[in-house]
């Protein structure tokens, strides 16, 4: 089955640090990747949609200058949380799909980000 | 009103019980529907897609009522390993998924 790998799985760092999270589709080419965030006891919230070779589309209320997304290849998208602060602490999850396909999205393992 | 609404639970049931979860969605143009399972501190995993004709996968049965904008999941013969949060997920178009907050299930011995 389709496998999506996310790295790192856990990050703890000081306030002001920038953190990069990688999302890879291991056995298929993902034209579209999605980045979600989940706070405790809340649902997953879509942050942005990332299409290979083009700029990401951000959801309302998500700062594109703070959450930098790069989707340079069909198997890799990265999310960089710039100058992270404690309020950015959350569970970040990526998913991947082939646009136009009928298959549901496949999720990475998630990255738990804790900013001290 | 939330785009996807679920009863957060928790639903506490004994092993072997049958339990049903419901979900409603607000966007009548939604295109596809899923149930995902999420264990604590883990990523969501696809449980099953949901079709108007109803579909069954072992002990799990899902149903979609487009007229009422209502989705259901029935779990028969509950196992301890079924304990998790069940997410109702709606594809509103262009693969954009909207998640419900989830319904927590606790199956006890």
**Residue pLDDT, tens place only, A31-64:** 889 999 999 888 899 999 988 888 899 999 999 9
- Tens digit of each residue's pLDDT, chain B (109 residues): 789 999 999 999 999 999 999 999 999 988 889 999 999 888 899 999 998 888 999 999 999 999 999 999 999 999 999 999 999 999 887 678 899 999 999 999 9
Reported as a single tens digit per residue, the pLDDT across A71-96 is 888 899 999 999 999 999 999 999 98
Inter-chain residue contact B95 with A97, CB threshold 8 Å: yes
Note whether A7 contacts B: Cβ–Cβ < 8 A: no
Chosen for mutation from A3, A44, A46 (greatest number of chain B CBs closer than 10 Å) is A44
Is A76 part of the contact surface with chain B (CB cutoff 8 Å)?
A: no
| Shortest Cα distance, chain A CAs vs residue B42, angstroms | 7
Lookup: tokens for A99:
């646009």
Q: Residue A2: pLDDT above 80?
A: no
Q: Distance of alpha carbon A17 from its chain centroid, rounded?
A: 17
Q: Which among A55, A21, A48, A54 is positioned nearest to A33, based on CA atoms?
A: A48
CA distance A85 to chain B (A): 21
Q: What confidence tens digit (pLDDT) does each residue in A6-25 have?
A: 999 999 999 999 999 999 98
Q: Cα distance from B99 to chain A (closest Cα, Å)?
A: 6
In the block, residue with structure tokens 């990332």 = A50
Short-list A67, A72, A90, CA closest to A18:
A67
| Residue whose C-alpha is closest to residue A23's, from A82, A103, A83, A97 | A97
Phi, psi of A76 (to 5 degrees): -145, 130
Query: Which contacts qualify for A66-73: CB closer than 8 Å, 24 or more apart?
Result: A67/A35, A69/A35, A71/A33
Residues 6+ apart with CB under 8 A from B73: B20, B21, B23, B35, B47, B60, B61, B62, B86, B88
For B6, nearest residue in chain A (alpha carbons): A43
A47: left (phi over 0), alpha (psi -120 to 50) or beta: alpha
């Amino acid at each position: 089955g389709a496998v999506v790998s996310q790295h790192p799985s856990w990050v703890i760092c000081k306030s002001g640090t920038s953190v990069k999270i990688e999302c890879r589709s291991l056995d298929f080419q993902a034209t579209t990747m999605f980045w979600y965030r989940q706070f405790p006891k809340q649902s997953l919230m879509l942050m942005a949609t990332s299409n290979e070779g083009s700029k990401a589309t951000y959801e309302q209320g998500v700062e594109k200058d703070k959450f930098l997304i790069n989707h340079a290849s069909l198997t890799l998208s990265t999310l960089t949380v710039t100058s992270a602060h404690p309020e950015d602490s959350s569970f970040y999850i990526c998913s991947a799909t082939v646009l136009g396909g009928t298959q549901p999205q496949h999720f990475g393992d998630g990255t738990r980000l804790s900013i001290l | 009103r939330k785009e996807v609404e679920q009863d957060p639970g928790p639903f506490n049931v004994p092993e072997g019980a049958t339990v049903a979860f419901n979900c409603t969605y607000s966007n009548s143009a939604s295109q596809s529907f899923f149930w995902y399972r999420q264990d604590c501190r883990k990523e969501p995993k696809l449980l099953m897609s949901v079709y108007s004709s109803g579909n069954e996968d072992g002990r799990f049965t899902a149903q979609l009522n487009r007229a009422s904008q209502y989705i259901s999941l029935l779990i028969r013969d509950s196992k301890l390993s079924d304990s998790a949060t069940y997410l109702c997920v709606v594809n509103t178009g262009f693969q954009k998924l909207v998640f419900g907050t989830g319904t927590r299930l606790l199956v006890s011995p």
